[in-house]
Amino acid sequence: MGRKPETKRFMSRKENLRQIRYIADYQFGEGVGRILFPDSIKLIISPKTGRVRQITDQGLRIATIKPASGWLSLSIEGAKRLHETFEFPKLRVVVMNEVSDFIAEGKNVFAKHVMKVDENIRAEDEVLVVNEDDRLLATGKAILGSIEMLNFDRGVAVSVRAGVKKLKS
């Protein structure tokens, strides 16, 4: 007698929505899940695993769930929503105005260009990159923590995932 094939249990939309909102609340702060992911979102599910891979709203990607860590990776649309939600300097890495165009095109942020930073940022955190006027330039992953970003003169501080200008090209 052979073994019964395993049947995968796929979560309902309601369960998935609750889970991704919980992740957002944990990763970015209480209440962020509802701001990032309103009821109108569309969930893109992996047919193989049944897990949420991407979250979109009105045709725009808001975030991707990284399979290795389970954390959210923000798109520019997701970054815009957080930028509008949080007061300066939360989640922000502030760069010199002189490098704004390069960063907005999707280039990485170097420590020597960092002017200010949210003191709670740690390496590997999702961050918003803004200029000195708090204009959103990009989103990415912090390579350095806040203290290192301000004290190092060399090296990449933020690995930029997407710049605002790259979307318009």
- Asked whether the beta carbons of 121 and 143 are under 8 A apart, the reply is no
Task: Choose the final residue of a domain: 31, 53, 74.
Answer: 74
Q: What is the CA radius of gyration of the chain?
A: 18
Per-residue model confidence as pLDDT tens digits over 60-98: 999 999 988 899 999 999 999 999 999 999 999 999 999
Per-residue model confidence as pLDDT tens digits over 13-57: 899 999 999 999 999 999 999 999 999 999 999 888 888 999 999
Helices H, strands E: what count in the chain? Answer: 6, 10
Q: Quick one: 43 and 90 in the same domain?
A: no
- Asked whether the beta carbons of 44 and 101 are under 8 A apart, the reply is no
Residue 42 placed within a domain: yes
Residue 123 placed within a domain: yes
Q: Quick one: 113 and 146 in the same domain?
A: yes
45 closest CA partner among 67, 28, 29, 23: 67
Residue 5 placed within a domain: no
Residues 70, 83: Cα–Cα separation, whole Å:
22
Number of domains in the chain: 2
Q: Quick one: 95 and 138 in the same domain?
A: yes
Residue 160 placed within a domain: yes
Residue 80 placed within a domain: no
| Residue whose structure tokens are 């010199």 | 96
pTM of the model: 0.88
Residue 151 placed within a domain: yes
Domain span at residue 69 reads 13-74
* 109 exposure class (CB count in 10 Å sphere: 0-12, 13-18, 19+): buried
